[in-house]
Amino acid sequence: MFDVIAVPVDGSDYGYEAADIAIELAQKFNSKIAAVHVLEEFSFNSYASEEDSGDAILAKITKKASDVGVEVTEHLLTADPLRDMKFIIDQTRADLVVIHAHGANNNRFVSFEENEVSDTQIGSVSERLLRTSTVPVLLVK
């Protein structure tokens, strides 16, 4: 049913939760995972440290998936997640995108309670992807 399931991950617990669901679906449908991590174009951290962090995030997804026999292709890209996510997903040739309703936003987003985020709110990247994607999007809450 799905050949490639894309899962954008940002290193937050929310991103890993979406990845777990994507891996479970990949097992059921004998699909591959396209794990995507976007390095933001403008960061106060060095590119090398951002790249190392992104590699570690993707490696965690790859390990989880490999442990259950799911093949993963890692995509570490420099882009604007809000502006470029639809293009990135198109390039992975995904049949399905699994993304969490919320992301870390460089780990400034810590919890619903601390940031007074309601259950009905959706992050900007997820919302834009829902509106623009040409493939199904599974929004994890």
Task: Give the residue from 7, 8, 5, 4 showing the smallest Cα distance to 82.
Answer: 8
Q: Which domains does the chain have, with CATH numbers?
A: 4-140 (3.40.50.620)
Strand duo 137-140 + 96-100: pairing: parallel
Reported as a single tens digit per residue, the pLDDT across 9-68 is: 999 899 999 999 999 999 999 999 999 999 877 666 676 778 889 999 999 999 999 999
Task: Give the residue from 141, 81, 138 showing the smallest Cα distance to 112.
Answer: 141
Residue 126 Cα to chain centre, angstroms = 10
DSSP 134: S
- Residue 49 CB coordination number (10 Å): 10
Judge whether 137 and 97 are in contact, CB under 8 Å.
Answer: yes
Model pTM score: 0.85
- Residue type at position 116: E
Give the chain's mean pLDDT: 86
C-alpha angle with apex 93: 91 to 95, nearest 5 degrees?
A: 140
